[in-house]
Structure 1
Amino acid sequence: MREIKFDLATEADLPFIVAVYNQTIPSHMVTASLTPVTVSQRLPWLKAHKPDSHPIWVVRVDGKPAGWVSLSPYHPRAAYRITAEISIYIDQQFRHLGLGTKMVQHAEKAAPQLGIKNIVCLIFGANLPSLGLFTKLGYQTWGTLPKVAELGGRLMDLKILGKGIH
């Protein structure tokens, strides 16, 4: 049985976080970034995530970093503070082990203590694995932004899925 552990991300984890994020860019299915990001570019993003309101966790499998999950502010205006955007990224060598489910459930379990009542995710319509994961976990489509991004020469819809956390 594999040991799965969630640790709050630190600056020392940022190279791993960036490397896993960059793995997804060539697929033109997961992120709107078109070119790899650097550790220095992502440092302000990391520092903006506070453990007591919007944490980033690194998931480790048998002590090895395998992915990361974050809860980010959905919108900067104060009334939206009860809603967070979830992002999950799994290192390609650890995919298809059920980590996505565990990562979403970990964030959901932490949400009430963080004052978060809703979690939303923004997923491209072509990203069927992520849409399937979040739908399986009870997320519903709260909106669709048609053809708002161009990735790999294709116009992509953006699905907004959400779930109330109680």
Structure 2
Amino acid sequence: MPPAADDLRIRPVAADDLAAITAIYRHAVLHGTASFEIEPPSEAEMRRRYDALLQGGHPYLVATTGDELLGYAYAGPYRPRAAYRSTVEDSIYLAPGAQGRGLGRRLLQALIEAATEAGFRQMIGVIGDSQHQASIRLHASLGFRPVGIFEKVGWKHGRWIDSVLMQRPLGDGMSTPPSL
């Protein structure tokens, strides 16, 4: 059963959220195709990634109810070269029992707002697996448009997997030069 609207909280990540985040991501790596990682990273590696995102001014959010962390989302660098500095890639992961309850939508909406406020201009959704229609529909419902598919670029769980690329402007988008 979904949490009551007033019970769900979306807030910036805190360092003590990393154990729960690591567990959620571990499950996604081992059982899903959203990530193309094969081996789940350690909590120490997740802490290194967390530190890098925060140092770069990238938004990182969690969804909680009571003391339970249900999911997380962050906007990380799309690519490392300087010309891409105003473009971010979104990542959203939910605990297995939290999927299908509208939490991904609430996290992505909040992430779009936070990335816009931070001055980013484009958000890219790189959706692992063209069969992941729920993620594709979620992105489309929040203004992302399909821009391409890399076909059969990942091998995981005994099959070839596509990457679906979707994009949406943030703030002024491409109508003016970036401030970042």
Q: Is the structural similarity TM-score above 0.5?
A: yes
Question: Partners of 1:109 and 1:118 in 2: how far apart?
Answer: 12
- 1:100-157 Cα offsets, whole Å, 9 max, x none, are 1111110111122211111111112122221121122221111211111001121111
Question: What is the aligned counterpart of 1:37 among 41, 60, 64?
Answer: 41
Which residue is 2:133 aligned to? 128
| 1:150 corresponds to | 155
Judge conservation of contact 1:52–1:114 (CA < 8 Å) in 2.
Answer: no
Residue 51 (structure 1) shift: 7.0
Cα distance, 1:41 vs structure 2: 2.0
Structure 1: tracts of 5 or more residues without a match = none
Deviates more, 1:26-35 or 1:15-24: 26-35
1:61-94 deviation digits (Å, cap 9, x = unpaired) = 2442111010101111222111101000111122
Identity of aligned residues (%): 25
CA distance in 2, matches of 1:14, 1:150: 28
Q: Is the 8 A contact 2:155 2:161 kept in 1?
A: yes
Which residue does the alignment assign to 2:16?
12
> Counterpart of 2:178?
none
Map of 1:76 onto structure 2? 80
Query: Hey, what's the Cα distance between the residues in 2 that align with 1:6 and 1:111?
Result: 15
**Number of the residue aligned with 1:108:** 112
Distance 1:10 1:4, change over 3 A: same
Moved more, 69-78 or 24-33: 24-33
Residue pair 1:53, 1:115 contacting (<8 A) in 2 also: no
Letter in 1 for 2:144: Y
Structure 2: stretches of 5+ with no match in the other structure: 172-180
Q: Among residues 52, 57, 76, which one is paired with 1:53 in the alignment?
A: 57
3-state SS, counterpart of residue 54 of structure 2: coil
Distance (whole Å) between structure 1 residues aligned to residue 153 and residue 15 of structure 2: 33
Question: Runs of 4 or more off by more than 4 Å in structure 1?
Answer: none
Report how many residues are paired.
166
Q: What value does the CA root-mean-square deviation take over the aligned residues?
A: 1.6
* TM-score, length basis structure 1: 0.92
2:143 paired with 1:138: yes
TM-score w.r.t. the length of structure 2 is: 0.85
* Counterpart code for 2:164: K
Q: Which secondary structure state, in structure 2, belongs to the residue aligned with residue 50 of structure 1? A: helix
Q: 1:60 Cα deviation (Å)?
A: 0.9
Instruction: Assess, with a 3 A threshold, how the Cα gap between structure 1 residues 15 and 157 changes in structure 2: closer, same or farther.
Output: same
